[in-house]
Amino acid sequence: MPRTARPTIALTVGLTAALLAGCTDDAGSDSRNNGAAGATPARAQAGAPSSPTAAPPPTGPYVALGDSYTAGMKIPPQVGEPGGCSRSGANYPSLVAKALSLGAGQFRDVSCSGARTGDLTGPQKVADGTNPAQLDALTADTRLVTLGIGGNDAGFMEVVTECAKDNLVDILKGVITDSAERISDSPCRDHYAAGNGTDEVQRKVDAAGDRLGQVLQDVRKRSPKAKVYVIGYPGLFPADPASCLPVLGNAVPAADLGFLVEKQQQLNGMLRKRAEAAGAVFVDLAGPSSGHDMCAGEDQRWVEPPLPARGLAPIHPNAKGQEAVSGVVLKAIRG
Catalytic machinery residues: 68, 316
Dihedral pair phi/psi, residue 97, rounded to 5°:
-60, -40
Report the run of H or E that residue 169 belongs to, with start and end.
Answer: helix 156-176
Is residue 151 within 8 Å of residue 231, measured between CB atoms?
A: no
183 alpha carbon, distance to own chain's centre = 31
Strand bridging mode 129-131 / 78-79: unpaired
Is residue 71 within 8 Å of residue 28, measured between CB atoms?
A: no
* 83: amino acid identity, one letter: G
Report the run of H or E that residue 229 belongs to, with start and end.
Answer: strand 227-231
Is residue 293 within 8 Å of residue 235, measured between CB atoms?
A: yes
Is residue 121 within 8 Å of residue 135, measured between CB atoms?
A: yes
Report the run of H or E that residue 257 belongs to, with start and end.
Answer: helix 254-277
- Cα–Cα dist 41/279, whole Å: 8
For 130, the 3-state DSSP assignment is: strand
Residues 6+ apart with CB under 8 A from 139: 61, 222, 223
